[in-house]
Amino acid sequence: DAGITQSPRHKVTETGTPVTLRCHQTENHRYMYWYRQDPGHGLRLIHYSYGVKDTDKGEVSDGYSVSRSKTEDFLLTLESATSSQTSVYFCAIRPWGGRFYEQYFGPGTRLTVT
Partner 1 sequence: TQLLEQSPQFLSIQEGENLTVYCNSLSVFSSLQWYRQEPGEGPVLLVTVVTGGEVKKLKRLTFQFGDARKDSSLHITAAQPGDTGLYLCARPGDSGYALNFGKGTSLLVTP
Interface positions with partner 1 (CB under 8 A): 31, 33, 40-45, 48, 50, 56, 58, 90, 92, 94, 100-108
Looking at the Cβ atoms of 14 and 41, the one nearer to partner 1 is 41
Quote the least distance from Cβ 90 to partner 1, whole Å.
5
Q: Give every CB contact of residue 65 below 8 A, 6+ residues apart in sequence.
A: 47, 76, 77, 79
Looking at the Cβ atoms of 74 and 90, the one nearer to partner 1 is 90
